[in-house]
Structure 1
Amino acid sequence: MVSNGEETRKSSCGRYNSALVQVILIGLVCFCCPGMFNALSGMGGGGQVNHTASNNSLTALYTTFAIFGILGGAIYNILGPHLTLLAGCSTYVLYTSSLLYYNHHHHQAFAIVAGALLGVGAGLLWAAQGAIITSYPPTNRKGTYISIFWTIFNMGGVIGGLIPFILNYHRSEAASVNDGTYIGFMCFMSVGTLLSFAILPPCKVVRDDGTRCTNMLYSNVSTECVELLKLFFNWKVLLMLPAAWSSNFFYPYQFNDVNGALFNLRTRGFNSVFYWGAQMVGSVGIGYVMDFSFERRRVRGLVGVVLVAVLGTVIWAGGLANQLRYSSNDLPQKLDFRDSGSHFAGPFILYFSFGLLDAMFQSLVYWVIGALADDSQILSRYSGFFKGMQSAGAAVAWQVDEHKVSFMSQLIVNWGLTTISYPLLFVLVMLGVKDQGQ
């Protein structure tokens, strides 16, 4: 005979209102929208030969993202998931269409305005996403559910990387990507916008044990304003700040100054497939550590921080060894994926490792956020603050790259920022994560 608990677990896998199904659905939404956006930006310069329009649009994007990332949790608590996600997803299509327009007219104003609007939308989408993946899963499986989300989401980057690789296989290095590349991205993003209607509010989601995520659906403006101000004085949130700031700060360096500087057009698309594929591997690996490595939840958190810190140090050291070979004033001949020997293999493995570390670092932070509370409204504010600060760092980083700061200086700053975050995350896990509810 099958016990009631086993029956509940089996039936939950197919229930539309189960936490697992909802996490998979938000993963598919992010597969289509930010996943495709990641593939697009990962090519360096948004697929354009001249990176100026892309860098300026991304600066506008992350500036508004920083504001609406922080506000996003409050907006999500007021509007609920449907309106929040619909508003967020639709801006991805607009942004990609601006790059299609730029392909023909080379006027960057549209791209900058679209980037600013995408920052608003991305702030809303990621606040909703953060609330869902940190509050919907059961307490003892948050790492697993986060890794499931991250795997599906980054499959978007893998598929998205294949689009420019296939469609631009025979194009010259002096050309931007073709129109079909942008149109392909826009089709996926449109599907993601429609999928956002499938996400249920937390009060309708039932976990395997029969509990609901929260009994509250809507908040109000005055409550959210007060709670938002409290975040700036919350010691838990402040300890997350360096990790948040640094976790997207390295993208301009990795995308433009490694992938864009060292590889030709088609190989950048090829590399993107493996960069985002590495993220899938990294998220699964850290998810296992955070849920199954040790019995006590706090110990799992501490081990996760140490593991990511050691791996991060090794990978950035490899980045330093690679960077000593070239500079912005002395670029080597562009590499092609068909090149034999270590000339291609070394930089390729490094770029793959950057993707691996990115997923492990961000999945670790999301696990820590999810371990600080269980209520959807609280976690939406924490997640929103994290994405806001993350985007503020990215806005600065894209302008650092646009102002031609040396590659070596960018590497050292990136390595230093991530290194500072590890001991603070260690303290946050030690003091803020409880072993109850394992």
Structure 2
Amino acid sequence: MAEASKGLITTNIQSPAHSVKNREDAIPTGWKYKRLKLGPITLPWYASPKSQLILVSFVCFLCPGMYNAFNGFGASEQLSPYASSASNSAIYATFAVAGFFAGPVTNTIGIKNAVSFGSLGYCVYVSSLLHYNFSHEIGYNVFAGLLLGCCAGILWSAQGAIMMSYPPEKLKGRFISWFWIIFNLGCVIGSLVELALNINMSANATLRSSIYVGFLGITFLGACLSWTLVDAKHVVRYDGSRVILMKHPTWKTETIGLWETIWSDPYIILLFPMFFTSNWFYTYQFNDVNLTQFNTRTRALNNTLFWLAQMFGALIFGMGLDFPNTRRTTRAKVAWVVMFVLTFTVWGGGYVFQRKYTREDTALMDHFVYDWTSDGYVGPMFLYICYGFYDAAWQTCVYWFMGAITNNSRKLANFAGFYKGIQSAGAAVIWYLDGFDSPRPYMSLFASCWILLAGSLVTALPVILLKIKDTVPLEEDLKFTDETVEDVIGHKVIYDSPEQDKV
């Protein structure tokens, strides 16, 4: 094994995310690194990747997760059509731009501060809906939409960096699935509330202000929880290795770093179609399938099953992507093949269902809609469950592909920003095509989903075949940073005092 003092490692240790020999002297002795035992259970230390992943998962559960739940049972339906369009346009537009450029912001202010700032936008947005209940003025809603777009872009960039750069290489799939399961609990809760409100086919009453106040408190709690995260420089893995990041980032270095990421890793552009498509199909599934083909209480049931399927899909794919005793390159190829087969299987079933109705049919007063007691409901229900499972599989694979390319937190924050920004741009486009002056036919929107999904898998194949390796060499990860091998693997003496912290 190469000595740390001799420079870059050239033999056994290739990546800070790889398992290395335990070094007790590389683990700090402060409270953040003490294990807590609860009976037979030993909890991970506070500044470990697992603890930080769980914390950011609950921040996202309480903020964007509750935002999804809030909207899931019609909390924003009291907005006028004009106010709703203005607010949603503000969110999508700023999210797309802010998301793409969120990486430099996250790297400059730090992951903890980025999560804290990003989570605030959600409670401000909920407060704007409460304000509209009394004033019916849209100015604050538009402002809140603009702020939420900016905040969400930064939050998801920081979250992506935590999820992809903190874990060791062999656990990245599981970290992604754990996050996705906790986050989607919010959507499940929203769907269950909607189901409870409509289970007896009663009309949805106007939501009381107390519900808005309750959700405002929940999202504010999530924003407060974000301050319990630790800075990335204090996160230590069980083998003593640390996260790769810039020690002294500035706005200038990180803005340049954004373009360096594209310049040094141009292959990431081949993943952009997958990014663009990752939320494209939501509009079709929610508006053109669930909304038009099912009555109110059955839509609520479908939503519950959809998000539960997401949790199950994330668990299956997260575990599969970390399958032990199998080379990572092999797992990446198998994941691509499985996604390709699923794309044609699930969306092939969707084609059969879509042939049964058109946009003109749904405009008729006597248009048939399914209830869960209707004959023939089981097939469409199963299709909708498959849509949820497929979505989780897609998101999990995209994150895992990015995380398999590099372990560098700086680069992964940029990747996550690209992902969310381009994803939001795609969502804005399909939202426009489905809902404005001349909505496109349902079959055209369906075809766009299927074609984009299959086509983006084809464009991503060269990245999967050529850029994903069994492990990422440390030399490659340390490019464009001022970290050293000793820093990220923990050979240096680590001091407890922040003033003396040399790492």
Greater CA deviation, 129-138 or 90-99?
Answer: 90-99
**2:444 is aligned with 1:409:** yes
CA distance in 1, matches of 2:346, 2:175: 26
Match of residue 389 from structure 2? 356
Residue-by-residue CA offset, 1:287-331 (whole Å, 9 max, x unaligned): 122110662111101111111121122111222222222222212
**Which residue, out of 396, 407, 421, partners 2:429?**
396
Residue-by-residue CA offset, 1:213-263 (whole Å, 9 max, x unaligned): 136455111111212223444422201110000001111111222222223
CA distance in 2, matches of 1:177, 1:263: 22
**2:321 is aligned with 1:290:** yes
Sort the Cα spacing of 1:54 and 1:170 in 2 relative to 1 into closer, same or farther, 3 A: farther
Tell me how far 1:14 sits from its aligned partner. 2.5
Match of residue 424 from structure 1? 459
Tell me how far 1:419 sits from its aligned partner. 0.8
CA distance in 2, matches of 1:17, 1:318: 46
**2:348 is aligned with 1:317:** yes
Q: Do the aligned partners of 1:66 and 1:391 also contact (CA within 8 Å) in 2?
A: yes
Match of residue 135 from structure 1? 165
Residue-by-residue CA offset, 1:323-375 (whole Å, 9 max, x unaligned): 222222212334334x2432x32222222211111111011010011111111
Match of residue 60 from structure 1? 90
Name the amino acid aligned to 2:165. Answer: S
Sort the Cα spacing of 1:364 and 1:294 in 2 relative to 1 into closer, same or farther, 3 A: farther
**2:471 is aligned with 1:436:** yes
Sort the Cα spacing of 1:322 and 1:47 in 2 relative to 1 into closer, same or farther, 3 A: farther
Residue-by-residue CA offset, 1:34-60 (whole Å, 9 max, x unaligned): 112233445579546976654543332
Match of residue 297 from structure 2? 266
Match of residue 378 from structure 1? 411
SS in 2 for 1:250: helix
Greater CA deviation, 114-123 or 209-218?
Answer: 209-218
**2:371 is aligned with 1:341:** no
CA distance in 2, matches of 1:366, 1:72: 17
Greater CA deviation, 113-122 or 281-290?
Answer: 113-122
Q: Choose 1 or 2 for highest CA Rg.
A: 2
Residue-by-residue CA offset, 1:353-411 (whole Å, 9 max, x unaligned): 11111111011010011111111111111111111111111111211122222221111
Name the amino acid aligned to 1:323. Answer: Q
Tell me how far 1:266 sits from its aligned partner. 3.5
**2:242 is aligned with 1:235:** no
What does 1:35-434 align with in structure 2 at a 5 Å threshold?
A: 35-42=65-72, 46-47=76-77, 53-102=83-132, 108-169=138-199, 172-173=202-203, 179=209, 181-214=211-244, 216-233=246-263, 234-292=265-323, 295-331=326-362, 332-337=367-372, 339-342=373-376, 344-403=377-436, 404-434=439-469
Instruction: Identify unmatched segments of 5+ residues in structure 1.
Output: none
CA distance in 2, matches of 1:141, 1:47: 41
Tell me how far 1:75 sits from its aligned partner. 0.5
CA distance in 2, matches of 1:317, 1:349: 13
CA distance in 1, matches of 2:222, 2:248: 24
Instruction: Identify unmatched segments of 5+ residues in structure 2.
Output: 1-20, 28-32, 36-41, 474-503
User: How many residues were matched structurally?
Assistant: 433
Name the amino acid aligned to 1:259. Answer: N
Name the amino acid aligned to 1:33. Answer: C
Identity %: 39
Sort the Cα spacing of 1:275 and 1:111 in 2 relative to 1 into closer, same or farther, 3 A: farther
Name the amino acid aligned to 1:66. Answer: A
Tell me how far 1:69 sits from its aligned partner. 0.7
Q: Do the aligned partners of 1:201 and 1:217 also contact (CA within 8 Å) in 2?
A: no
Sort the Cα spacing of 1:264 and 1:253 in 2 relative to 1 into closer, same or farther, 3 A: same
CA distance in 1, matches of 2:287, 2:209: 21
CA distance in 2, matches of 1:224, 1:63: 23
Residue-by-residue CA offset, 1:15-47 (whole Å, 9 max, x unaligned): 111111111111111111111223344557954
Tell me how far 1:5 sits from its aligned partner. 5.8
Name the amino acid aligned to 2:314. Answer: S
Name the amino acid aligned to 2:308. Answer: G
Q: Do the aligned partners of 2:405 and 2:472 also contact (CA within 8 Å) in 1?
A: no
CA distance in 1, matches of 2:452, 2:73: 24
Greater CA deviation, 401-410 or 164-173?
Answer: 164-173
Name the amino acid aligned to 1:223. Answer: T
CA distance in 2, matches of 1:162, 1:417: 32
Q: Do the aligned partners of 2:197 and 2:204 also contact (CA within 8 Å) in 1?
A: no
More helix by share: 1
Q: Do the aligned partners of 1:102 and 1:111 also contact (CA within 8 Å) in 2?
A: yes
Greater CA deviation, 93-102 or 293-302?
Answer: 93-102
CA RMSD across the alignment: 2.8
Sort the Cα spacing of 1:109 and 1:183 in 2 relative to 1 into closer, same or farther, 3 A: same
CA distance in 1, matches of 2:369, 2:218: 30
SS in 2 for 1:161: helix
CA distance in 1, matches of 2:216, 2:187: 14
